[in-house]
Amino acid sequence: MTTAVPQSFDYDPPMEPFLPVIHSDADLLVIDKPSGLLSVPGKAPEHGDCVESRSRGVHANSRIVHRLDMDTSGVMVLAMNPAAQRHLGLQFERRKTRKTYIADVWGRLDADTGEVDLPLICDWPNRPKQMVCFDNGKAALTRWEVIGRTEETTRVRLFPHTGRSHQLRVHMLALGHPILGDRFYAEGDALAASGRLSLHAESLELHHPSGGERVTFRSRCPF
């Protein structure tokens, strides 16, 4: 998942919480990333504050393994040494990790479960936005289940099989149910319904680099 932002973006990352730690050991640093914080530095000098810089300020050996969109909150894992970084990187590359997200979307989904299987590509003139493209897009698959409904919105748990940039945001939009507060893809009432992107990385399951034990890290949804 990319963390690219437009050069002109007004970046004001939250200082509290600064970098909440869920778990740390000799191989792993697992954090609860706040919404509004970049995973890695942006291109502009004023976009330097990020998970990477904050983590290295406290844990000098920490290394980025994967990314969450700036507006997404939740579980993010970093490696604490080169061997762990390689081990974790291969798990993400080979889809050996399992991730779940919570999202509030606009409108009521009638079905209780479903999936979106639509290829995605960068919408280059409007980057970092992405779009569905059957000719040149990369395969992207998201499974979902409804966990709550109101008169105007639906809460879903999302299970991404792939990890394309903005995948969950574009796939929910393609269903006709944009994620609340999504400044890239939501409009009108859906955009105004939340002061932040209502997307949270709830859990991450992976093999621990030391010994291979399957471990799961979780974060409570903040919205």
Active site residue 112: no
Provide the CA 125 distance to its chain's centre, in angstroms: 23
Provide long-range contacts, Cβ within 8 A and 24+ apart, for 52-60.
54/18, 54/19, 55/19, 55/29, 55/31, 58/19, 59/24, 59/29
If DSSP codes are grouped into helix, strand and coil, which group holds residue 56? Answer: helix
Nearest to 137 by CA among 124, 126, 148: 124
Structure tokens at 83: 């061997």
Residue that is written with structure tokens 């920490």 in the block: 62
- Catalytic entry in 12, 25, 49, 69: 69
Active site residues: 69
